[in-house]
């Protein structure tokens, strides 16, 4: 649905292209590579496994010295939850479940929001997933949630119904290494959704 990368670039590189290589988190699965031009219009590259990568890089003067965190992790987690609640139009998190159609709509909404927010330095990842891919993503998220969140508890069997509770969905979206819990196209799909 989108991602954000903060780069500290020396002043001498401001009018040059930056090479990039994208891999799934925690593995060596190559997804894409290319050259990005700073302060250029939105650029697009085809992913090796299908879909595409869109990017837009804007330069702004750094507010923090290189090597330091821009925000506290709790602030980042709160921003993720806030963004997810806005994308999924959540009124009551305790009663909310996420189904493939909800996920597809949220991904489209994220694309619209990303297009509107072009003033910050970031890279945007967007892709359209087929309905059967969205089903697979929701089932994988439920499996990952039960595997990671239920440590020490008796194992429940994973239902093949593509529906996941809102709280489990949010916890999965906040995992830094989410795609590493699966492999192949499922890992790529989780990377795209996250």
pLDDT tens-digit profile, the chain (194 residues): 455 666 666 777 677 777 777 776 666 677 777 777 776 777 777 766 667 777 766 666 655 555 444 444 456 778 888 888 888 888 887 888 999 999 988 888 887 766 665 554 444 455 678 889 999 999 999 999 888 876 656 566 666 789 999 999 999 998 888 888 888 888 889 888 88
Nearest CA among 190, 166, 18, 151 for reference residue 98: 166
Does residue 35 sit in helix, strand or coil? strand
Burial tier of 129 (Cβ tally within 10 Å: 0-12, 13-18, 19+): buried
CA 152 from chain centre, in angstroms, equals 29
Specify the pTM.
Answer: 0.55
pLDDT value for 115: 62
């Amino acid at each position: 649905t989108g991602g954000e990368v903060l780069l500290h670039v020396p002043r001498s590189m401001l009018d040059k292209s930056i090479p990039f290589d994208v891999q799934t988190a925690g593995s060596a699965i190559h997804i894409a590579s290319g050259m990005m031009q700073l302060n250029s219009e939105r650029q697009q590259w085809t992913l090796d496994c299908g879909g595409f990568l869109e990017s837009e890089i804007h330069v702004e003067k750094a507010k923090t010295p290189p090597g330091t965190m821009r925000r506290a992790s709790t602030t980042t987690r709160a921003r993720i939850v806030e963004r997810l609640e806005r994308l999924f139009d959540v009124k009551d998190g305790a009663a909310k479940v996420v189904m493939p159609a909800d996920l597809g709509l949220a991904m489209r909404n994220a694309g619209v929001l990303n297009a509107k927010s072009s003033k910050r330095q970031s890279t945007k990842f967007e892709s359209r997933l087929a309905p059967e891919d969205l089903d697979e993503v929701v089932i994988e998220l439920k499996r990952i949630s039960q595997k990671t969140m239920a440590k020490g508890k008796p194992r429940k069997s994973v239902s093949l119904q593509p529906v996941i509770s809102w709280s489990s969905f949010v916890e999965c979206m906040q995992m830094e290494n989410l795609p590493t819990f699966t492999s192949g196209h499922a890992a790529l799909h989780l990377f795209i959704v996250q």
